[in-house]
Amino acid sequence: MTCHWEQGQLLEWSREHSRNFPWRAGWQPTIRLLIGEMMLQRLRDDKVGMHYTRFATQFYEWAAIASAELTTLQWALPNSGIWRKRAISLNYLAQQIVNGLVVDIPTVESLKELPGFSLSVARWVRVVIFGEREPFLDGETARVIGRFYNINYPHWQFEQHPALVAAAYDIVDNRACIELNCALRDLADAVCLAAQPDCAACPLRSRCALWRDEHT
């Protein structure tokens, strides 16, 4: 499936309406883009800035994470069990990158085996670090894609639902993969809300299955 129209609409909308986060401003080291979007998955907009700033003031590049004491890295990340596990994985990944031990691009399956790495995080690692075209498919972006294509799925199964995953891959299959992933996340946060979607403000409205069903 080609999604040129959807990609164009999302990118155009994003230029005016994307959320303003420091890790998205201009060129940023890959580690900051990776961590910022990972934090955004579990933290509200008004909380993520504090946590990101604490991390970014200490860690600018992979070498710093590779050489960091694990407790120092864990302190710089959000204080939760999942992030303490992710600190272990990030330290391991940094050492692999800095020491030139990554010969082949890791598979999603191998990355998902790392502590604290969900399927969506594993895909995001491949996007940001290795330049692959993968969707950061979380519960919110799944809602946008599911509504647009009229894909019904159990909410606990979105990461592995075949039709939903295939559609997500198609939408971000573009050299602007990172921007498209961020646009989907912003659209879910500002427009395609769970309870009361603001369809009038949606750039995908004219071809959205949900909107069409409700207005025909």
Q: What is the pLDDT of residues 124-142, one digit of tens each?
A: 999 999 999 999 999 999 9
Q: What's the rounded Cα separation, in Å, for the pair 13 and 191?
A: 11
> Which pLDDT band holds residue 148 (cuts at 50, 70, 90)?
very high
Is the predicted pLDDT of residue 103 greater than 80, yes or no? no
Q: What is the pLDDT of residue 154?
A: 86
Is the predicted pLDDT of residue 39 greater than 80, yes or no? yes
Q: What is the CATH number of domain 4-214?
A: 1.10.340.30
Q: What's the rounded Cα separation, in Å, for the pair 146 and 164?
A: 7
Prediction pTM value = 0.92
